[in-house]
Amino acid sequence: MSEPTPKSGSQNLSNANWLELVRQQVGSLRYGVVEIVVHDSRVIQIEKTERLRLDKASGENFSKD
């Protein structure tokens, strides 16, 4: 469920407003992780992993009995 932020050929995250990109990714999550990848002190990639949580009531409907 990892979803790397796409980069166009001419777009480089170090030149873009990477902080705003991180805010957008965090704002679109309910449960999950936003990971920032840095190489040579430059942000080169932003990844988002989203989790889907089931409440206990719906989880009890799937017993193995």
pLDDT in tens, 7-50: 444 345 545 588 999 999 999 999 999 999 999 988 999 999 99
Closest by Cα among 44, 48, 46 to 12: 44
pLDDT at 5 exceeding the cut of 90: no
Determine the longest span between alpha carbons in the chain, in angstroms: 56
Q: Which residues of 23-53 are buried (b: 16+ CB within 10 A; e: fewer)?
A: eebeeeeeebebeeeeeeeebeebebeeeee
Say which DSSP state 43 is in: E
pTM: predicted TM-score of the whole model, two decimal places: 0.57
